[in-house]
Amino acid sequence: MEIKKLFIPGPTYVHPDVLAKMGTPMIGHRTKEASELQRNITRKMQQLMFTENKIVLSTSSGTGLMEGAIRSATQKKAIVFSVGAFGKRWYELARLNGIDADLHEEISGHATLPETVEGYLKTGKYDTVAITHNETSVGIMNPVEAIAIVMKKYPEVVWMLDCVSSLGGAKIEVDRLGVDICITSSQKALALPPGLSLASVSQKAIDRFLLM
């Protein structure tokens, strides 16, 4: 039988070995096997993300972790940079949760530039920044390497990066870039079934959570 492969942003083709593993009996979530499984996932995600930060697993879509991130990390005000529908989602989530936020939308087909980010941050009004790395709705990848240079000038600001459609397909060095919350989902470049989202979370972000 011919296997159909979907070459789209997601959900992606899942290898038969992975599907076969899903057909094996479940294990108890309080067993040693479950703990070891989560430790292995954490280690491998840290390698993939080039980070020593904590790894969070969530039985939600990437949107679930995006909502949790902007709600938990914003103490003063968030600035959301959008180049398409998924970038704007950060702003919609903030508003739905009663989080004070501003939205900067780029002209269609244009990426978020580092000087734009700095223009907002130098006002001192914002303590969180939300950016989408790869915006599949328009086919734009934001220049996070250049944006990271700006972010390092503002160490008090928590940087949240949506890497749902890029992590595993593009090299994202979380610790070197200084990304505080890096979010992805299972159904994109990780080539797994949907239903799981993952994030690396810096100590700075955790400290911010504790203040809320």
For the segment 61-76, what is each residue's pLDDT rounded down to a tens digit?
999 999 999 999 999 9
- pLDDT tens for residues 81-132? 999 988 999 999 999 999 999 999 998 889 999 999 999 999 999 999 999 9
Please give the Cα distance from 121 to 96 (Å, whole number).
23
Average pLDDT over residues 146-154: 98
SS3 167: strand
**Ordered structural domains, the chain, with CATH:** 30-211 (3.40.640.10)
Output the pTM of the full model.
0.92
Closest alpha carbon to 127 in 145, 97, 102: 102
> Helix 62-73 to helix 203-211 angle, to the nearest 10 degrees?
60
- The neighbouring-strand residues paired with 81 are 104, 131
